[in-house]
A and B are shown apart, each in its own frame.
Chain A
Amino acid sequence: MPASVDFRSVSVEPILHDINFQIASGEAVAFIGRSGAGKTTTLRLVNGLVRPTSGDVFVDGNSLRTIDLISLRRHTGYVIQGSGLFPHRTVYENITTVPRLLGWSESEARTAAGEMMEKLELPLGRFGDRYPRSLSGGEQQRVGIARAMIARPSILLCDEPFGALDPIVRRDLQDAFVALRSGVTIIFVTHDLPEALRVAERIVLFDGGRVVMDCPASEFTAQPLPLVQRFVDAASL
């Protein structure tokens, strides 16, 4: 079940100042902004990797100050640039990390891993026993997505997941990602506007630790804000 996320007057001094907005359950939202604008910090508030200095974050109406963070994290997918795969574990072992933590049976985990890897074009038979170092950057990131999605999380947090990939692989992964994204609330951090428009239905623009724009993706490029126009200019050929 997708979850809702609610930021209420959240500050993380000195990075973020008075963040206020809601994300409905099942929504796909992109955070864009320049480096240091506060997008990643805001993302990391959702699974408690960063704690607010004031204000509070709510997931499905429950305050992150009171709920069990370990359990929340096991139901929140997390995909990052560089994938963060465990180097000493095979692709299969990496993908089944959260199912093992949740106590799934081996057969349940194997079935789910097989299905997930099929969708991401990484057949279990061919990739399951390989180590992350033997995979290309794009393949590693596919494993990263499979690992984050396998246990059907309520929220999927993505922090520049495709930032280090070449443009063609990047495009392929964006398409694979869009095909997978139903049934989960998505927050996707990127500084690439075309990517944000492709993967999200709503865009939140950060600048200087504040939200300066929050609108449907389809209306974003028409916004008169100078920073929006700079992103549009930077994205056009």
Chain B
Amino acid sequence: MAEPGLGTLGTIAFGIAIIAAAVGGAAVLTWFERRLLGIWQDRHGPNRLGPFGVLQVVADMLKLLTKHDWVPPFADRAVFVFAPTAIVVAMLLGFAVVPFGPDLYVLDLNIGLLFFLGMTSLAVYSVLLGGLASNNKYALLGGLRSAAQMVSYEVFMGLSLMGVVMLAGSFSLRDIVEAQRELWFCIPQFLGLLTFTVAGIAESHRLPFDLPEAEHELTAGFHTEYGGMKFAMFMLGEYLGLILISAMIVTLFFGGWLGPWLPPVVWFGLKVFALICFFILLRAAIPRPRYDQLMTLGWKVMLPLTLLNLMATGALALWWRA
């Protein structure tokens, strides 16, 4: 592995800082998302507590912390308690390979991209085991849906990134950013960007792909039986997933920390922020598809598109070099 850019102590401190920033960011996002949704839907959203209602975050946290931490008697206790932690741990680990600046990273693995894919696929267990351990029909159906959705979308999630890997010639996220100095990959890899974005939303099961929860038909899907802090962990994991997917899209397709005038980490933050706003806009704008439409979209539209992109990129890359 390459030498860490910050030294051992610096890397540890930076890792802790990332965890704090990601968790804090996820908490603020819960408020920010509701405010933005409010603006787009022509209403106020939470605006009472503190300036612009930002203290709503604290109020929500206090409410969740003081709730009775209840485990249903019919649930599989150990698995029920373990399930929500998996998604938070996996998502936080995923942040380890994200390069925030030329020397601002925790790990520069030569398999960085695969590490990220591995962590997102491990996060699925949270939803699955939560649904299974709840011993509740709604939760089970939510978990089942999520298993099918994740497996289907994971297939082309990985494949959609292989075009980027081909162009950059490396799995290391730092090398991928460096390879975008002349041209961001969102232009030669627009099909990859499209498919990865769709897969990313499906993997973090946000609207419009939140079929595992689908409160209109499954009450709350896999987390029907969850309350208090354990429910908050699921939500935290989901928002962490949103931030992580945005950070990955920025790194892989929008030149990561690259940009003129401003310091690299500011560019990175701005790009991630813009993408998060875009994801919230998607939530406000697009209705939820039916479950079979979701699966059809994955297998019959997205997968062929991804394969097409992969073939075209490979052919062009060969032709370019010859």
Question: Are A and B subunits of one complex?
Answer: no
Give B contacts to A, CB under 8 Å: none
Q: Which residues does A use to contact B, with CB under 8 Å?
A: none
